[in-house]
Amino acid sequence: MSVIKPVPTQQSPLLLAGHTQTVDPAEDNEIFDLLFDYETVQLAQGAFSRKVQFAGTHRSALYLEEYGASSHNFGHLRGNRLGICLPILDKEAKWWGRSISEGHVPINHSGRTIQGTYKSGQRHVVMILDRTWCAEQLGNGFLGHSLEINTIFNSKKSSFIEIAPRRVRRWAQRLCSLLTQISPGSDEAQKAMFEKELLTAARSLLEPSEISQFDNSASKQLVEAALLLADATQPPVLSISALCANLNVSRRTLELAFRTIIGKSPLQFFTDRRLCRAYIDLKQSDDASARVTDIALSYGFTELGRFAHRYHKIFGELPSETLRQRPEKFIRPIEV
């Protein structure tokens, strides 16, 4: 698979634009490697896909994405950035365990984790802005009276902005339209127009807004601690009882936290997560001696028949069929 990577400054276009599509979670995590560090876990049976239409400069990005099968994303924004997501509310989704009602927009910034659970068909528009640049531009009054964004994004508990539903719909439509107008190249005027439009959107969305405090912070922290602990365990499987003992919580408490944030029990989620990681290893393996048994055992699946059944139910093929496929390039390099 080809991933958008930085190129030398003298060769960099002023504006990147295009579209991508991944058809399995083995490739999904790499699409926005420059912007995010995260992991995708497929949660339900169905053909996985993630369609993305994007445009961006070195200090701003805008993209529209649509998900196939139900999945969960966990990670964070790289660098010093802030993100604003405008859901297109045709399918249920949850950020940090909370369903989005009209008039509430998820926000995020570097240093805070992202927890998103998406149903098949979920669509949303996302703006990613360099935080320092955005603070300078909106704080100097050049585009209107000054707006101090750092006070908005400094709260560790802020997860949503309350905005009039009409304004959310209007900006979602306007930003989708902007994506259709952008073409890659070295046109300074087009770059300036693009960045000004994103700054205007950020001002419109942030200025009159009230922060909705996240009231499930204990559940969020517990889920994140469980994920970190599971990753630190060798082999990469830990019984739920052992997980509870290490976290010093009851099984009921852990169950409630996972169902609140992710919508699944911890046992179901960690099983799906290990299946996805096994899928990635099988899909990307170019070792002729690689065996399904070895990869299954490395992720704690000791009952191979049950492993194959669960695997087929999620991915629609047997592990041996995945292993026989040679790695393919689903996304072509973008030429500008």
User: Are the CB atoms for 238 and 248 separated by under 8 Å?
Assistant: no
**CATH fold of the domain at 9-213:** Jelly Rolls (2.60.120)
Question: pLDDT by residue (tens digit) across 117-155?
Answer: 888 888 999 999 998 998 888 877 555 556 777 666 665
Q: In tens digits, what is the pLDDT along the chain, a chain of 336 residues?
A: 333 444 333 445 688 888 888 877 767 666 677 788 888 888 888 777 888 899 999 999 999 998 888 888 888 899 899 999 998 865 678 888 877 766 678 888 888 888 888 888 889 999 999 989 988 888 775 555 567 776 666 655 567 887 888 888 889 999 999 999 888 887 888 999 999 999 988 888 887 555 555 557 788 888 989 998 888 877 667 788 888 888 888 888 899 999 888 888 999 999 999 998 898 888 887 777 788 888 898 888 989 899 999 998 888 889 988 887 755 544 433 332
φ, ψ of residue 257 in degrees (nearest 5): -65, -45
User: Are the CB atoms for 64 and 52 separated by under 8 Å?
Assistant: yes
Superfamily holding 217-324: Homeodomain-like (1.10.10.60)
Q: For residue 54, what are the β-bridge partners?
A: 18, 63
**CA neighbours within 13 Å on the CB side: how many for 216?**
22
pTM over 0.95: no
Q: Give the separation between CA 132 and CA 262, rounded to whole angstroms.
A: 32
Query: What residue type is 129 in one-letter code?
Result: L
Question: pLDDT by residue (tens digit) across 199-220?
Answer: 988 888 887 555 555 557 788 8
Q: Give the separation between CA 237 and CA 245, rounded to whole angstroms.
A: 15
What SS3 string covers the chain? Answer: CCCCCCCCHHHCCCEEEEEEEECCHHHHCCCCCCCEEEEEEECCCCCCCEEEEEEEECCEEEEEEEECCCEEEEEEECCCEEEEEEEECCCCEEECCEECCCCEEEEEECCCEEEEEECCCCEEEEEEEEHHHHHHHHHCCCCCCCCCCHHHHCCCCEEEEECCHHHHHHHHHHHHHHHHHCCCECCHHHHHHHHHHHHHHHHHHHCCCEEEECCCHHHHHHHHHHHHHHHCCCCCCCCHHHHHHHHCCCHHHHHHHHHHHCCCCHHHHHHHHHHHHHHHHHHHCCCCCCCHHHHHHHCCCCCHHHHHHHHHHHHCCCHHHHHHCCCCCCCCCCCC
Domain boundaries, the chain: 9-213, 217-324
Question: pLDDT by residue (tens digit) across 53-80?
Answer: 999 999 999 999 988 888 888 888 998 9
